[in-house]
Amino acid sequence: LMNNLQKEGSTNLRQENCRAKGGSPGFKVAILGAAGGIGQPLAMLMKMNPLVSVLHLYDVVNTPGVTADISHMDTGAVVHGFLGQQQLEDALTGMDLVIIPAGVPRKPGMTRDDLFNINAGIVRTLCEGISKCCPKAIVNLISNPVNSTVPIAAEVFKRAGTYDPRRLLGVTMLDVVRANTFVAEVLGLDPRDIDVPVVGGHAGVTILPLLSQVKPPCSFTQEETEYLTSRIQNGGTEVVEAKAGAGSATLSMAYAAVKFADACLHALRGDAGVIQCAFVSSQVTELPFFASRVRLGRNGVEEIYPLGPLNEYERVGLEKAKKELGGSIEKGVSFTTGSS
Ligand code: NAI
């Protein structure tokens, strides 16, 4: 009997109904790429999030195992697994938030742009599914190169007539997490007390930490500024090299993804004053997409803050960032428009 119940998913349905009656303010969240290096710890952490009532785990491999494993955690969220493209629509239907860490990661010597050819197609397919099955969902896009995959997603949604720029967010949270950590090390402070705005994009020189705007206010020597900027920009490569062929950041990324997703869920719930950095459709610069501090609300991005006063070092960095970022955005846009 137990086997049959589990096969039909009836226990899960009964749990969902029971919890819905309890009035818990849960959201439905899907992770696409849930069996991967980021996807697995991300799934575990989302299962622990009290704002999640239903968690859908989708991948093209291994989701039955990951789902069985995660589903034994005695936390509130009910977990369902989906395997292969024929189950993508079921995975997406009814979702409030979709987190996408699907795609290949870097190996030593690779830039994020080297991933373009494989990941662009994956992101396009997944976003077509979102347009069809949950066009109102908030999308947290992690798959690299984020500087190009976000423009790809936007084009897919535009074509489907479902594009709402407020709901599409490229996840740059790991850059902020790293910046907070490295700055705290230099200052000898607790990283939990540090807030570093990181703007621009998510690759190399497009990652621009605004060290003149760190909270609490502090100052750095030129040497510290150069060391910190370079370490924050190359944090991902530091991990890729240390893993020596076994992939890129997964655990710190899962942590950062959950920090960001949790902010989105609090905003969806109606909490005020939820502010994070993200790579979004933006008029902060002349580029169509840019990462900066944004205020999140029930509809996604509700306000985009200007960059604020920059020092000379940051102004030079900004020009470099914009130059590279413009090309990456263009590459994403033409991938979709050139492939009708
Ligand atoms: P991984 O290779 O360990 O996992 C990727 C997962 O995606 C695999 O389970 C794979 O089966 C799945 N997948 C492949 N094609 C798919 C499809 N069509 N639909 C659904 N799932 C599919 O890679 P990892 O380490 O988890 O990284 C995932 C992505 O995240 C990479 O593109 C990586 O560059 C990116 N990343 C982004 C960061 C950021 O700050 N935004 C930081 C670190 C990684």
Considering only CA atoms, which residue is closest to atom 25 of ligand 1? 37
Helices and strands (H and E) in the chain: how many: 12, 11
Q: Has residue 47 got a pLDDT over 90? A: yes
* Confidence at residue 1, expressed as pLDDT on a 0 to 100 scale: 46
Mean pLDDT of the 307-335 span: 97
Angle at 47 (CA atoms; ends 44, 51), nearest 5 degrees: 140
The pLDDT value given to residue 104 = 92
The CA-atom distances, in angstroms, between 124 and each of 120, 127, 150 are 6, 5, 10
Mean pLDDT of the chain: 94
Ligand 1 atom at minimum distance from 34 CA: 9
Task: Assess contact for 196 and 179: CB atoms under 8 A.
Answer: yes
**Mutation choice for ligand 1 from 32, 38, 328, CB with most ligand atoms inside 8 A:** 38
Atom 35 in ligand 1: residue holding the nearest Cα = 143
The DSSP code for 191 is G
Q: Can you give the pLDDT at residue 24?
A: 53
Vertex 119 angle, CA 325 and 266, to 5°: 75
pLDDT, one tens digit per residue, over 136-156 is 999 999 999 999 999 999 999
Task: Respond yes or no on whether the N-terminal peptide bond of residue 197 is cis (omega within 30° of 0).
Answer: no
- What DSSP element (H or E) covers 145? none
Q: Which residue has the higher pLDDT, 195 or 4?
A: 195
Q: φ and ψ at 195, to 5 degrees?
A: -135, 110
Q: Is the CB of residue 269 less than 8 Å from the CB of residue 24?
A: no
| pLDDT at res. 340 | 45
Longest dimension (CA), the chain: 70
Residue 106 binned pLDDT confidence (cut-offs 50, 70, 90) = confident
Report the nearest-CA residue for atom 15 of ligand 1.
Answer: 103
Ligand 1 atom closest to Cα of residue 170? 41
Q: Which ligand 1 atom sits closest to the C-alpha of 249?
A: 43
**CA–CA dist 95, 86 (Å, integer):** 17
Looking at residues 184-189, what average pLDDT do you find? 98
Paired sense of beta strands 207-209 and 27-32, if any: unpaired
Lowest mean pLDDT among 44-48, 88-92, 105-109, 294-298: 105-109
CA 122 to ligand 1 centroid distance, Å? 10
Q: Measure 283 CA to ligand 1 centroid, in angstroms.
A: 29
Task: Tell which residue, 332, 106, 333, 318, has the closest CA to residue 205.
Answer: 318
- 25 vs 297, higher pLDDT: 297
Measured in whole angstroms, the distance separating CA 185 from the mean position of its chain's CA atoms is 25
Q: What is the pLDDT of residue 123?
A: 98
| Tokens at 297, concatenated | 């609300």
Chain segment 1-26, per-residue pLDDT in tens: 444 444 444 455 666 655 544 455 69
The residue nearest atom 30 of ligand 1, judged by CA position, is 143
Q: Please, are residues 196 and 220 in contact by the beta-carbon 8 Å criterion?
A: no
The alpha carbon of 211 is separated from its chain's Cα centroid by a whole number of angstroms, namely 23
pLDDT of 73 reads 98
With cut-offs at 50, 70 and 90, classify the pLDDT of residue 75. Answer: very high
The helix/strand/coil state of 64 is helix
Could you tell me the pLDDT band of residue 61, with boundaries at 50, 70 and 90? very high
What ipTM describes this predicted complex? 0.99
What atom in ligand 1 is closest to the CA of residue 247?
25
Place of tokens 């697994």: 81
Nearest CA-CA partner of 287 in 263, 311, 307, 257: 307
Strands (E), 84-173: 97-100, 138-141, 168-170
Residue nearest to atom 29 of ligand 1 (CA): 143
Question: Which pLDDT band, with edges at 50, 70 and 90, does 336 fall under?
Answer: confident
pTM, to two decimals: 0.95
Calculate Rg over the CA atoms of the chain: 20
pLDDT value for 15: 61
The yes-or-no verdict on residue 159 having pLDDT over 50 is: yes
Q: List all residues whose CB is within 6 A of at least one atom of ligand 1.
A: 32-33, 35-39, 59-61, 101-106, 115, 119, 122, 125-126, 142-144, 146, 171, 174, 202, 247-250, 253
Q: Is 290 in contact with 325 (CB distance < 8 Å)?
A: yes
How many angstroms does the Cα of residue 247 sit away from the middle of ligand 1? Answer: 10
Question: 10: Cβ–Cβ under 8 A, 6 or more apart, which residues?
Answer: none
Question: Is the distance from CB of 142 to CB of 257 less than 8 angstroms?
Answer: yes
Q: What is the pLDDT of residue 68?
A: 98
Write down the pLDDT at residue 337. 81
For the annotated catalytic residues, the residue numbers are 202
Distance 38 CA to ligand 1 centre (A): 7
d(CA 298, CA 302): 8
